[in-house]
C-alpha cells in the first residue's frame, strides 16, 4: 500500500487547479482538490466571466444610441441592475456545477475546505484532518490589494464586491490604472454611472503600448469618463449616505461608491509555505522553474500565485503542463512569450507581442506601421471614435513582433493576430495576405507606409 493517501493534492480550484486535477486524474493519479470558496476560482466567480457579462450589459447603451443613425426609433430604454446581477449569478452557478461534474467524472475527490501545508507531504484541512500526498500543487490565485493605508480605506470596495453591489452607484470613483480599473470604468459609465478614474501614474494601462494608452484614454474621456492621472485618493469620508473623496491634489468629489483596483497580491500568506521550505520570489509570488516546480521537489505551483502572467489561459496551460510533466511522462515547459491579452474597455484593446518602446529597447531597428481611422459603423451613427491599428516590426528581419489594436472587436483581432506573431510571420507575410473587406482587421494587411516613431512624434 502507498505511504500516501493521494498521489496529488491540489490546493485551489480555480483555472489552474481544476485543469491540473482533471488531467492528472486522467493520467491515472489519485487526486484530491480543496477549494475554500467556489470551484472555477476567480475567472468564473469574480473575474473574466462575470466581468465580461457586465461589459456586454454596458455596451447596449452605445448600441441604442447608434441605432438612430441607422433609422431605428427606440422607446425609452431602462436598465435594472438587480436583474443583471441575478442573471449573472445564475450563469456562474451553472458554470460552477459544470466544473464540479467534470472533476467528479474524471475521478477527482473534491473537498470544500481551506487547505494549508503542514509539511512538504502533508496537507491540513480546516477541520484539522491531515492528508499525505506524494505531490502538492498550489494554485491559490491572488487577492485584491489596496495599497497604502489611508483614512476611510475600509469604505473602499474591490472588484470582488463590485460584482455584488445591491444597486448601481450613481457616482463612482475608481482608483487604479490597470485593466481591471479601466474595464470597470467602462462598465459603470456604460450602465449610466458618472465615473472618475484616478491613477497615480502618468497614464493608464502601464506596460501597454504608449500610443494605445494615449488613444484609449482620449476615447474614454470623449465618452464621458473623467480620467485624473498623477493623483491618488487620500481619504474617504462617509457623508450622509455617500462619500466625500479627497484626492492627493486637495480636490474633493462626492461618490456613492469608491472602488480600488490597485493590483492583486498572490495568496501566499498563512499557507505553511515557509515551514515547508517553499521559497517566495521577489515579485511576491511562489518561485518556480519552467516546469512550475517550487524550491521543494514534490511541490509545484501554477497560476496567479506564481505571479508570472496572470491570465486564465496561462494558468490553465501551466496546470495542464504540470500534470503532463509529473503524471503524463511528458515534461512540458510553458512558453510565456507572445501571450495575447485584451482590455474590455470602451473602446476595446487587443494586443500581442512587443510594444514600440520595448522593441526600440531590444532591436537594432524598429519599424512602425499604423492606421487610425473612423470605423465604418461610426459613419452613420455619428459616434465619435477612432480605431488604432499598429504593427511593430523588426526592421532587420522583417518579423512582426507586436500588434496593437484599439477599437470594436480588438480582442478577437488580437487572438487571431497572435497566431501569426507566434509563428514568426514577417511583414511581407502580412502584406501577401488578401484583405477581408470591409473589416477593421483588413488594415493589418494593407498598411504599406512606415510611420514616424510615436515617441518622436509625441515629443515634436
Ligand atoms: C476582475 C477580474 C477580471 C479578470 N479578467 C480576466 C480576463 O478577462 N481574461 C483573463 O485571462 N484573466 C482575467 N482575470 C485573471 C484571471 O481571473 C486569473 O488569472 C485566473 O483566475 C488565475 O487562475 P488561478 O487558478 O491561478 O487562480 P484563481 O482562479 O484565483 O483560483 C484560486 C482558487 O484558490 C482558492 N483558494 C485560495 N486559497 C486557498 C486555500 N488555502 N485552500 C483552498 N482553496 C484556496 C480560491 O478560493 C480560488 O478559487 C481577471 C481577474 C479579475 C480579478
CA 419/CA 300 separation, integer angstroms: 29
Listing DSSP states for 79-129 in one string gives: --HHHHHHHHHHHHHHHHHHHHHHHHHHTPEEEES-EEEEETTEEEETTS-
User: For residue 88, what are the β-bridge partners?
Assistant: none
Percent share of the chain, pLDDT over 90: 97
CA of 399 to the centre of ligand 1 (A): 34
Protein residue with its CA nearest to atom 45 in ligand 1 = 12
pLDDT reported for residue 458? 56
pLDDT reported for residue 48? 97
Per-residue confidence band for 457, with pLDDT thresholds at 50, 70 and 90? low
Asked whether residue 460 carries a pLDDT value surpassing 70, the answer given is no
Lining ligand 1 with CB less than 6 A are: 11-17, 34-37, 41-43, 47-48, 51, 114-116, 139-141, 159, 180, 267, 271, 303-305, 310-313, 315
pLDDT reported for residue 305? 98
CA of 152 to the centre of ligand 1 (A): 27
Asked whether residue 4 carries a pLDDT value surpassing 60, the answer given is yes
CA 131/CA 147 separation, integer angstroms: 36
Protein residue with its CA nearest to atom 30 in ligand 1 = 141
Q: Which atom of ligand 1 is nearest to the CA of 16?
A: 25
The 10 Å Cβ neighbour count of residue 275 is 12
Q: Which atom of ligand 1 is nearest to the CA of 18?
A: 25
**Which tens digit of pLDDT belongs to each residue from 324-344?**
999 999 999 999 999 999 999
Per-residue confidence band for 459, with pLDDT thresholds at 50, 70 and 90? low
- Tell me how long the chain is: 460
Asked whether residue 452 carries a pLDDT value surpassing 90, the answer given is no
**Which tens digit of pLDDT belongs to each residue from 417-437?**
999 999 999 999 999 999 999
**Average pLDDT, rounded, for the chain:** 96
**Which tens digit of pLDDT belongs to each residue from 55-111?**
999 999 999 999 999 999 999 999 999 999 999 999 999 999 999 999 999 999 999
Exactly one of 100, 252, 404, 437 is catalytic; name it: 437
Average pLDDT on 157-164 reads: 98
Q: Would you call 437 a catalytic residue per the annotation?
A: yes
The C-alpha cell at 235 is 481619504
Average pLDDT on 6-28 reads: 98
Q: Which atom of ligand 1 is nearest to the CA of 34?
A: 43
Residue among 410, 392, 143 at smallest CA distance from 269? 143
pTM, entire model: 0.96
The answer to whether 254 and 243 have CB atoms below 8 angstroms apart is yes
CA of 165 to the centre of ligand 1 (A): 20
Asked whether residue 152 carries a pLDDT value surpassing 80, the answer given is yes
Of 11, 32, 42, 103, the residue with max ligand 1 atoms within 8 A of its CB, to mutate for a pocket test, comes to 42
Asked whether residue 455 carries a pLDDT value surpassing 80, the answer given is no
Per-residue confidence band for 454, with pLDDT thresholds at 50, 70 and 90? low
Amino acid at each position: 500500500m502507498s505511504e500516501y493517501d493521494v498521489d496529488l493534492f491540489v490546493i485551489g480550484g480555480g483555472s489552474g487547479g481544476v485543469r491540473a486535477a482533471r488531467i492528472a486524474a486522467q493520467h491515472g493519479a489519485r487526486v484530491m482538490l480543496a477549494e475554500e470558496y467556489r470551484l472555477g476560482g476567480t475567472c468564473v466567480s469574480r473575474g473574466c466571466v462575470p466581468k465580461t457579462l457586465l461589459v456586454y450589459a454596458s455596451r447596449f447603451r452605445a448600441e441604442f444610441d447608434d441605432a438612430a443613425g441607422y433609422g431605428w426609433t427606440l422607446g425609452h430604454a431602462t436598465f435594472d441592475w438587480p436583474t443583471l446581477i441575478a442573471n449573472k449569478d445564475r450563469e456562474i452557478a451553472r458554470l460552477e456545477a459544470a466544473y464540479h461534474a467534470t472533476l467528479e467524472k474524471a475521478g477527482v475527490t473534491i473537498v470544500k475546505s481551506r487547505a494549508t501545508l503542514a509539511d512538504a507531504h502533508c496537507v491540513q484541512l480546516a477541520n484539522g484532518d491531515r492528508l499525505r500526498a506524494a505531490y502538492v500543487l498550489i494554485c491559490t490565485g491572488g487577492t485584491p490589494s489596496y495599497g497604502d493605508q489611508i483614512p476611510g480605506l475600509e469604505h473602499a470596495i474591490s472588484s470582488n464586491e463590485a460584482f455584488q453591489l445591491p444597486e448601481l452607484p450613481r457616482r463612482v470613483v475608481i482608483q487604479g490604472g490597470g485593466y481591471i480599473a479601466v474595464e470597470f470604468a467602462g462598465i459603470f459609465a456604460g450602465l449610466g454611472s458618472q465615473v472618475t478614474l484616478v491613477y497615480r501614474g502618468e497614464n493608464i494601462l502601464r506596460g501597454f503600448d504608449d500610443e494605445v494608452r494615449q488613444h484609449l484614454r482620449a476615447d474614454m474621456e470623449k465618452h464621458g469618463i473623467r480620467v485624473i492621472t498623477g493623483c491618488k485618493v487620500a481619504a474617504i469620508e462617509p457623508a450622509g449616505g455617500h462619500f466625500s473623496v479627497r484626492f492627493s491634489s486637495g480636490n474633493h468629489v462626492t461618490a456613492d461608491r469608491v472602488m480600488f483596483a490597485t493590483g492583486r497580491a498572490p495568496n501566499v500568506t498563512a499557507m505553511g509555505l515557509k515551514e515547508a521550505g517553499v521559497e517566495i520570489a521577489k515579485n511576491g509570488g511562489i518561485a518556480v522553474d519552467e516546469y512550475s516546480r517550487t524550491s521543494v521537489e514534490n511541490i509545484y505551483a501554477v497560476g496567479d500565485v506564481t505571479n508570472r502572467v496572470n491570465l486564465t489561459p496561462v494558468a490553465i496551460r501551466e496546470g495542464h503542463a504540470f500534470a503532463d510533466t509529473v503524471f503524463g511522462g511528458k515534461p512540458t515547459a510553458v512558453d510565456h512569450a507572445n501571450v495575447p491579452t485584451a482590455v474590455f474597455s470602451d473602446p476595446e484593446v487587443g494586443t500581442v507581442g512587443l510594444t514600440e518602446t520595448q522593441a526600440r529597447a531590444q532591436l537594432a531597428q524598429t519599424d512602425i506601421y499604423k492606421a487610425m481611422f473612423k470605423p465604418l459603423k461610426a459613419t452613420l451613427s455619428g459616434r465619435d471614435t477612432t480605431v488604432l491599428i499598429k504593427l511593430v516590426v523588426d526592421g532587420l528581419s522583417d518579423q512582426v513582433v507586436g500588434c496593437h489594436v484599439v477599437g470594436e472587436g480588438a480582442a478577437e483581432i488580437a487572438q487571431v493576430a497572435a497566431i501569426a506573431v507566434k509563428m514568426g510571420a514577417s511583414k511581407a507575410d502580412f502584406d501577401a495576405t488578401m484583405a477581408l473587406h470591409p473589416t477593421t482587421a483588413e488594415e493589418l494587411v494593407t498598411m504599406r507606409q512606415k510611420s514616424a516613431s510615436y515617441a518622436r512624434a509625441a515629443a515634436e
